[in-house]
A and B are shown apart, each in its own frame.
Chain A
Amino acid sequence: MTRRLAVKLGLLALLAASCRPASTPQWVTLHFADPTYMAVVPISRELPLPSGDTTKQTLEAVLPALSQPPSGLASTLPPGSQVTVGEFTQGIAHFTVKLPQGQTGSRSELLAQGGLVHTMATLPGVQKVEVRFDPPSHLEAEPLTPAQWTNQWFQAEEAIDTPLTVWWKVKATSYLVPLVVPGTDPLEVWSRGPQGPRQNGFEGFIQAGQRVTRIGDKQYIGQPPLPPLAREALSRTLSEAGISPVVIDGEPVNPSQHVNQEAHS
């Protein structure tokens, strides 16, 4: 009798396991806050996710990783936040965020929104992400693409000019970060590095006495030659401006598929 019951339970367990979608490692671009909480920073990490198309279960499997920032960055969700995955239909993923009491400032809300939008919209099939707050926030719930939530701000006295997406790095780290700043010439803006208060949190690659020269349509020479991270940042900046592929210091450079890629654990 007991043996029969054990066999039945074993069969049930096998059946349950076969119904659960298999997990496979997949690269996901998570987004975390820089130490000054001014911007979201992409980090590529390999996560075990349900195989097949993106589903609500996929979104749920990604969520815990947003609370595990790499060293030097912070979660965009304040400790104690509760995130619930809602419907995922027609390419729009819905989330509800409950922030801890007293942590409901605009910056907290905006970063929670930005981290979710940028992270989830990198998953296949997710075009837009809608974040609602509980209790309702003064930030309107609307489905957003990453292009609608960018690392852009104007500093006091900064001219309103053509926006350029420039890849610099988070200060004192090697994390590349895209910032939207005013300017027209991507090489000139990238070489000059962050200006004014942006220098509190971010830094460029070109030091005094160094320069990068454009020598052809898409050819660039660094003096001295650029290190790999600077090449990656410049190629991403040029690519954002529609200049791609490029040759830097005599070598073709294409932005790597996974930005700020974490080593396999």
Chain B
Amino acid sequence: MNRFWFAGLMWLFASAPAWGAPLIQNIRHDPSSGQVLITANEPVTPHIMRLQDPWRIVIDVPGTLADRSSRSFEVDKRGLQQIRFSQFTDDTVRLVLELDAGAELDTQFREQGDLHILQLRVIPLAAAGESEPRAEAPRPKLKFEPQRDRENEFVMRLEGTVPFQTYPFRLDEPDRLVIDIPELDTDWTQQPMAGHLVKSLRMAPKPEGGARLVFDLNQPVSYRITGNPTRRDVILTTGARSVEVASRPTLTPARNGRLIVLDAGHGGNDPGAIGKGGVREKDVNLSVTLLLKQELEKMGMQVILARHDDREILLQPRVDVANQAGADLFISIHSNSIPKPDVRGIETYYRNPSGLPLAKAVHGEMIRHLGATDRGVRYANFFVIHHTTMPAILCEIGFLTHQEEEQLLAGLDYQRQVAVAIARGVQRYWETNSP
């Protein structure tokens, strides 16, 4: 891989657009400080989200224009691998920082004359205490073995030496079934299948670890995945697409302590609520969910994500994840909206009586820790908290229709505070509701 330094690299963009939107004037990386600096001619409200596989932090700056086509460059700086930017939509500039796994961003704003500068400092994972990168043990590899290949059924067995989760989804034109497995690695391989349903099977390692399997299909199929924590059978059968669930993260985790399923609301084609500044609910929900996962894991809890990236997942599969795993708790993360722009605050919902003590514990911590307006713990018949069989809540962590809350919710710092508050609430719940 070609890696080279871009010391003080700067792009100067063309003159401001005619319609007068804030202009991203330059984006540069300062290798001495490790900072990425985004300079605009007017105040901007960046929206930061975190994505996995590979680990990257995406900064959308709504309502802005960069009069330049997309570019990318690589940075051999510890923690930061690559920077990309593009005019993502007509009025949103997107910057993507591809990072070492676990690296984080610290964000700060400052003004310099008429310029507004967003400073992004990459915090490598090593900053948490390691002085040198440690040699990692080889990761467990995925084994696979075709079991059955008939006219109307195809079965493939997947095996790992450690428990793993499967995240299947489908792609069209041509028909493919894709399964991501974060816990296991694989070598790149392609295996033609002269069968009826599957044309070929491709496997590839993912840059951040993990395997991706792609089944190239001869025709649309239904699929299901069954098995145990270390062995799964992927079963493909002929059938109409409408019969089966679109995307079901099938998993059977090894139980080792308390197990929480986190559900980032909306995703993919379903953005959820959208703030005036362009902040999308689906992105805030996912970012807070990923941060909450970290917080809960620090506390020794196991976490499964019902949605781990920007994709649309139906409600039933989200519920299935929790019920099939036998989770102890289910927490769905959402952001709110209302037509009136001065309404703000936090609401926490429960549906089944078992969810009320959890809702009160989490809600109380959010109000205390965040100093947010208390809009109460409420009953509502939301699908995901109705059909889950464990204590389940849905947190509305703020109103995207409130300008200040929209800005707060778009920021990594506040997102982390929300995650910490919810995690404290969970801990508080366990203190008084231990089995």
Residues of chain A having any CB pair with chain B under 8 Å: 35-38, 74, 78-79, 101-108, 110-111, 135, 138-140, 142, 152-157, 160, 196-197, 200
Assess whether B384 is interfacial by the CB under 8 Å rule.
yes
Residue of A nearest to B278 (CB): A102
Query: Given that A138-B384, A160-B356 are contacting pairs, would A103 and B379 also be in contact in the complex, using a CB cutoff of 8 Å?
Result: no
Decide if B396 touches A106 in the complex (CB within 8 Å).
Answer: yes
Query: Given that A36-B343, A156-B367, A156-B368 are contacting pairs, would A105 and B336 also be in contact in the complex, using a CB cutoff of 8 Å?
Result: yes
Assess whether B382 is interfacial by the CB under 8 Å rule.
yes
Residue of A nearest to B336 (CB): A105
Query: Given that A36-B343, A156-B363 are contacting pairs, would A101 and B274 also be in contact in the complex, using a CB cutoff of 8 Å?
Result: yes
Decide if B379 touches A107 in the complex (CB within 8 Å).
Answer: no
Decide if B356 touches A197 in the complex (CB within 8 Å).
Answer: no
Q: How far is the CB of A41 from chain B (nearest CB, A)?
A: 15
Q: Which residues of B contact A152 (CB under 8 A)?
A: 378-379
In the bound complex, CA of A9 to CA of B153 (Å): 68
Residue of B nearest to A153 (CB): B376
Decide if B360 touches A106 in the complex (CB within 8 Å).
Answer: no
Decide if B396 touches A105 in the complex (CB within 8 Å).
Answer: yes
* Option from B265, B338, B339, B367 in Cβ contact (under 8 Å) with A138: B265
Q: How far is the CB of A167 from chain B (nearest CB, A)?
A: 19
Q: Which residues of A contact B275 (CB under 8 A)?
A: 102
Interface of B is mostly: mixed
Q: Which residues of B contact A157 (CB under 8 A)?
A: 364
Q: Which residues of A contact B338 (CB under 8 A)?
A: 37, 78, 103, 105, 107-108, 111
Decide if B380 touches A108 in the complex (CB within 8 Å).
Answer: no
* Option from B271, B367, B377, B381 in Cβ contact (under 8 Å) with A153: B377
* Option from B281, B373, B379, B384 in Cβ contact (under 8 Å) with A197: B373
Decide if B380 touches A155 in the complex (CB within 8 Å).
Answer: no
Interface of A is mostly: loop
Decide if A106 touches B380 in the complex (CB within 8 Å).
Answer: yes
Query: Given that A107-B396, A196-B374 are contacting pairs, would A35 and B340 also be in contact in the complex, using a CB cutoff of 8 Å?
Result: yes
In the bound complex, CA of A261 to CA of B375 (Å): 28
User: Interface residue count for B (Cβ, 8 Å)?
Assistant: 43
Query: Given that A105-B399, A106-B347 are contacting pairs, would A155 and B374 also be in contact in the complex, using a CB cutoff of 8 Å?
Result: yes
In the bound complex, CA of A110 to CA of B394 (Å): 14
In the bound complex, CA of A264 to CA of B427 (Å): 57
Assess whether B261 is interfacial by the CB under 8 Å rule.
no
Decide if A103 touches B382 in the complex (CB within 8 Å).
Answer: no
In the bound complex, CA of A103 to CA of B340 (Å): 11
Decide if B381 touches A139 in the complex (CB within 8 Å).
Answer: yes
Decide if A106 touches B356 in the complex (CB within 8 Å).
Answer: no
Q: Which residues of A contact B336 (CB under 8 A)?
A: 105-107
Decide if B399 touches A154 in the complex (CB within 8 Å).
Answer: no
* Option from A103, A135, A140, A197 in Cβ contact (under 8 Å) with B374: A197
Query: Given that A155-B374, A156-B364, A197-B373 are contacting pairs, would A105 and B379 also be in contact in the complex, using a CB cutoff of 8 Å?
Result: no
Taken residue by residue from 103 to 118, chain B's Cβ proximity to chain A (1 for < 8 Å, 0 otherwise) reads as: 0000000000000000
Q: How far is the CB of A140 from chain B (nearest CB, A)?
A: 5
Assess whether B5 is interfacial by the CB under 8 Å rule.
no
* Option from A74, A135, A154, A156 in Cβ contact (under 8 Å) with B340: A74
Decide if B334 touches A106 in the complex (CB within 8 Å).
Answer: yes
Q: How far is the CB of A212 from chain B (nearest CB, A)?
A: 27
Decide if B273 touches A105 in the complex (CB within 8 Å).
Answer: yes
Query: Given that A36-B343, A101-B274 are contacting pairs, would A140 and B335 also be in contact in the complex, using a CB cutoff of 8 Å?
Result: no
Q: Which 9 A-B pairs have the closest CB atoms?
A: A153-B376, A105-B337, A102-B274, A105-B336, A154-B377, A156-B367, A156-B364, A78-B339, A197-B374
The interface centre, meaning the residue of B275, B376, B379 with most chain A CB atoms within 10 A of its CB, is B376
Decide if A103 touches B364 in the complex (CB within 8 Å).
Answer: no
* Option from A111, A138, A154, A200 in Cβ contact (under 8 Å) with B315: A138
Decide if B384 touches A38 in the complex (CB within 8 Å).
Answer: no
Q: How far is the CB of A127 from chain B (nearest CB, A)?
A: 18
Q: How far is the CB of B188 from chain A (nearest CB, A)?
A: 39
Decide if B340 touches A108 in the complex (CB within 8 Å).
Answer: no
In the bound complex, CA of A102 to CA of B274 (Å): 4
Decide if A197 touches B378 in the complex (CB within 8 Å).
Answer: no
Q: How far is the CB of A147 from chain B (nearest CB, A)?
A: 12
Decide if B273 touches A102 in the complex (CB within 8 Å).
Answer: yes
Assess whether B78 is interfacial by the CB under 8 Å rule.
no
Q: Which residues of A contact B401 (CB under 8 A)?
A: 103, 105
* Option from A108, A155, A196 in Cβ contact (under 8 Å) with B339: A108
Q: Which residues of B contact A106 (CB under 8 A)?
A: 334, 336, 347, 349, 380, 382, 394, 396
In the bound complex, CA of A135 to CA of B273 (Å): 13
Assess whether B195 is interfacial by the CB under 8 Å rule.
no
Taken residue by residue from 369 to 400, chain B's Cβ proximity to chain A (1 for < 8 Å, 0 otherwise) reads as: 00001111111111110100000001010011
In the bound complex, CA of A70 to CA of B399 (Å): 25
Q: How far is the CB of B331 from chain A (nearest CB, A)?
A: 14
Q: Which residues of B contact A140 (CB under 8 A)?
A: 381-383, 386
Q: How far is the CB of B337 from chain A (nearest CB, A)?
A: 3
Q: How far is the CB of A111 from chain B (nearest CB, A)?
A: 8
A-B contact pairs, 6 of them (CB 8 A): A102-B271, A105-B281, A105-B399, A135-B270, A154-B377, A160-B356
Q: Which residues of B contact A105 (CB under 8 A)?
A: 272-273, 281, 334-338, 396, 399-401
